[in-house]
Amino acid sequence: MLNLDFTVSREESGVRLDRALSRMLPDSSRTFLQKIIKEGCVFCNGKCVTVPRFPVQHDMKITVNMPELVLPEAPAAEEFDFPILYEDDQMLVIDKPAGVVVHPAAGNHEGTVLNALLGRYPSLAEGLSTNNRPGIVHRLDKDTSGCLVIAKTPEAQFHLGNAFANREVSKTYLTIVRGIPPRQTGELVTLIGRHPVNRQKMAVVERNGKTAITSYRVLGSGSINDVKLSLLAVRIATGRTHQIRVHMNHLGFPVLGDQVYGGSRAKVEGVERQLLHAWKIEFPHPGDRRKCAFKAELPEDFRKVLCFSAIDAEI
């Protein structure tokens, strides 16, 4: 059993216990956290609390006795064949290719980043009893390429997870969208939640969603077969599911190739995936908290569209 200790910040004071834990343990679902609270695995200032809605207070000491997870089947170790942008004894940063899923899920049990990590670092498998995603501190959609940060130890995963949860990570993406925004820069602040009709999609909603903050800058524009296109640098201050894709489509400029949110408007001949690339990332090192900054160069399919559309931008 793994014991985790936290101290409630001033900003978290008054928040429900399950909500506070979901921010402290971003890799765990709210349902799972509510379950372990009710099972008596969570202590506040040394006293067992079994009510998920219990309000936490500033400076309160929270201890979580994380139970072992029973997995239906452990992910298989596979060959690691990803470009490494950086590596030390606590973490590594890879350039994830498009088409690769980050961790196993329904319909994707093989060929994921986690499978490859278990092949390169067998010691990560020791954490599978308490964490079904050892090393994984954030994710990219299957068809999104670019910078992916990975922890090599449980301690590093804990600190990197907190950095993401506390918005200490700066992420900049490059994307090609259909259309030309009327302003060179812009920001969108909305709620994002499940689509009211298609529950497999996300959408901008008026209630029952989470705050999502996206800002963008137009780097250049062009066209392919009279279809106007723009290259954008996009920064996200939050990490909601499909955030950039949802926000760009909401603005009327869907990500090129994103047929889930952009439909037929996102189609351009020769583009076979959503053109979204995790270009730059900055965050505090999990060991000494020094500033780390990395960049993943654009993949070939992205560059071809820039060339064919005559988009000229310094990247």
The CATH code belonging to domain 2-66 is: 3.10.290.10
288 is catalytic: no
pLDDT band at 68 (very low <50, low <70, confident <90, very high): low
| CATH 3.10.290.10 location in the chain | 2-66
Say yes or no to pLDDT of 69 above 60.
no
The pLDDT of residue 28: 64
| CATH 3.30.2350.10 location in the chain | 84-165, 170-283+292-308
The pLDDT of residue 185: 97
The pLDDT of residue 255: 97
Q: Which is more confident, 228 or 2?
A: 228
Mean pLDDT of 64-79: 73
| pTM passes above 0.85 | no
Please write the tens of the pLDDT for every residue from 245-284: 999 999 999 999 998 899 888 888 889 899 999 999 999 9
Q: How far is residue 281 from each of residues 138, 172, 189, measured CA to CA in Å?
A: 12, 6, 21
Say yes or no to pLDDT of 152 above 80.
yes
pLDDT band at 60 (very low <50, low <70, confident <90, very high): very high
Please provide the average confidence, as pLDDT, over all residues in the chain: 90
193, 210 Cβ separation under 8 angstroms: yes
The pLDDT of residue 70: 45
- Domain 84-165, CATH number (from 3.30.2350.10, 3.40.50.620, 3.30.70.60, 3.40.50.740): 3.30.2350.10
Q: Which is more confident, 192 or 269?
A: 192
Say yes or no to pLDDT of 40 above 60.
yes
Lowest mean pLDDT among 39-43, 70-74, 78-82, 137-141: 70-74
Mean pLDDT of 76-92: 95
Lowest mean pLDDT among 56-65, 86-95, 227-236, 292-301: 56-65
Mean pLDDT of 30-41: 88
The pLDDT of residue 183: 95
pLDDT band at 71 (very low <50, low <70, confident <90, very high): very low
Q: Which is more confident, 131 or 254?
A: 254
The pLDDT of residue 26: 59
Q: Which of 141, 143, 226, 301 is catalytic?
A: 141
The pLDDT of residue 107: 54
DSSP string, the chain: -EEEEEE--GGGTT-BHHHHHHHH-TTS-HHHHHHHHHTT-EEETTEE---TTPBP-TT-EEEEEEPPP--SSPPPP------EEEE-SSEEEEEEPTT--SS-BTTB-SS-HHHHHHHH-GGGGGGGGT-SSTTB-S---TT-EEEEEEESSHHHHHHHHHHHHTT--EEEEEEEEES--SSSEEEEEEEEEE-SS-TTSEEEESSSSEEEEEEEEEEEEEEETTEEEEEEEEEESS--TTHHHHHHHHHT-PBTT-TTTSGGGG--TT--S--EEEEEEEEE-TTT--EEEEE-PPPHHHHHHHHHTT-----
Superfamily of domain 170-283+292-308: Pseudouridine synthase (3.30.2350.10)
